[in-house]
Copies of this chain bind each other. A is one copy, B any other.
Amino acid sequence: MSRNILLILALTCIISCNENMSDKKNTTEHLPAIALHGGAGNLEKLNLTEEQKNEYLHVMDSAVSQGYQILQLGGSSVDAVEAVIVILEDCPLFNAGKGAVFSHDGCNELDASIMSGADLSCGAIAGVRHIKNPIRGARKVMEKSEFVLLHGEGAEDFLEEQGIEKVDTSYFYTEHRWQQLLKAREKESKAHLDHDGEHTENDPDKKHGTVGCVAIDKFGHVAAGTSTGGLTNKKYQRIGDSPLIGSGTYADDSTCAVSCTGKGEDFIRIAVAAEISSRIRFANEPLDKAVHTTLHGRLVAVDGRGGCIAISPTGEIVMDYTTKGMFRACIEKDGKKTLAIY
């Protein structure tokens, strides 16, 4: 009996040592890196004041820095992606969470998705109206359900069981988003691309974008997430690309992690996020070429517009777009930080 106990102790020690070595190996091999976007569009037409630009830059700086810190402390890429997107959802500047635009019938319909490149697990919710942080909801679907995509009240029922914070619809009310809707309704115009000057004229209040984040952690695992309020004045419970795995979000440790923003329907048609991953896997394209060819080649060919952020398993970051700007920020594996709008 005592021999057995000694054997168990010895084995435990070996496993523990191996785990420590494995952790150490991983921590020395992989430098964390992270990128976020806050929507693409013809941002010049926003005519942002210096003060407004600084507001955006400040929030993006804070978010990307907090995400990077999580990674540096050994947090997972999924943790970092969720934390960054929560910050952007809580900021009324962006079209996600608190700052979500109104749909045609005066509601806020929120969509989000998240994916882990480690095991291709993923979760998404669409058309929810009471979830304070949709990205947290998407993660719960990923980790606690057998499903990938849940919708509306059904999704909210599940998330309530999981203890996710629900809020009254009034939480999402912001005066400037409401005014956007009234103007859009008045014109009976088509649903509008989130940040786009072409369709939304020169009104800074109309053009706030989808948010997203990609990251790689110390263990070499990539992750991606996206969250949005969709299109101002959208109708018919339209679902865009943001909650759709393969369209707006994708992550695979063997290729890349991607989060997209733009004219969702065209991102679905091309399956943009999966296409970027496939170009790397099957055509051996480097990340920057895979992103560029997909956005400026195939997407443009179907009259699509927008952008994406992507990260490779070796920590390269690409932030590319076909519009005249994309709110974006990143901290590369050497610690270099970038904050940009145009």
The interface of chain A, by Cβ under 8 A from chain B, is 119-122, 126-127, 145-155, 157-158, 190-191, 234-240, 244-247, 250, 264-265, 268-271, 274-275, 278-279, 281-283, 302
Decide: A148 near B237, CB < 8 A? Known: A246-B246, A246-B274: no
3 smallest beta-carbon distances between A and B, as pairs? A154-B237, A246-B271, A278-B278
In the bound complex, what is the Cα–Cα distance between A158 and B158 (angstroms)?
A: 27
Residues of B within 8 A of A239 (CB): 126, 149-151
Whether the pair A270, B120 counts as a contact (CB closer than 8 A) is yes
Nearest B-chain residue to A149, judged by Cβ: B239
**Known A157-B236, A235-B154, A283-B282: A149·B274 in contact at CB below 8 Å:** no
A161 nearest in chain B by CB position: B236
Given A268-B122, A270-B120, A271-B271, decide whether A154 and B278 contact each other with a Cβ distance below 8 A: no
Could you tell me the distance in whole angstroms from the C-beta of A42 to the nearest C-beta in chain B?
19
Q: Is B283 touching A153 in the complex (CB atoms < 8 A)?
A: no
> What residues of B have a CB within 8 angstroms of the CB of A157 in the complex?
235-236
- Cβ-defined contact, B274 with A245, below 8 A: no
* Inter-chain contacts of A268 with B (CB < 8 A): 122, 148-149, 245-246
A-B contact pairs, 6 of them (CB 8 A): A148-B264, A148-B269, A150-B239, A246-B247, A278-B279, A283-B283
Q: Which residue of B lies closest to A270 (CB)?
A: B120
Judge whether A147 and B265 touch: CB under 8 Å. yes
Minimum CB distance partner of A274 in chain B: B271
Within 8 Å by CB of A151, from B126, B191, B264, B269, lies: B126
Quickly give the copy total for this chain. 2
CB distance from A144 to the nearest CB of B (A): 11
Known contacts A236-B157, A245-B271; decide if A152 and B149 are in contact (CB<8 Å).
no
| Chain B residues, CB < 8 A from A119 | 302
A237 lies within 8 A of B150 (CB): yes
What residues on B are CB-neighbors of A237 within 8 Å? Answer: 150-155
Find A265's partner among B146, B235, B271, B283 (CB 8 Å cutoff). Answer: B146
Assess whether B282 is in contact with A235, with CB atoms less than 8 Å apart: no
Smallest CB separation, A304 vs chain B (Å): 10
Chain B's closest residue to A244 (CB) is: B244
Is the CB–CB distance between B152 and A265 below 8 Å?
A: no
Chain B residues lying within 8 Å of A154, measured Cβ to Cβ, are: 235-238
* Extra inter-chain contacts (19) besides given A147-B265, A246-B247, A271-B274, CB under 8 Å: A121-B269, A126-B151, A146-B190, A146-B191, A148-B268, A150-B236, A150-B237, A151-B151, A154-B235, A154-B238, A245-B247, A245-B268, A246-B274, A250-B271, A271-B271, A274-B275, A275-B278, A281-B282, A282-B282
A103 vs chain B, min Cβ distance (A): 9
Residues of B within 8 A of A151 (CB): 126-127, 151-152, 237-239
Q: A236-B157, A275-B278 are in contact. Are A120 and B269 (CB under 8 A)?
A: yes
| Residues of chain B with a CB closer than 8 A to A127's CB | 151-152
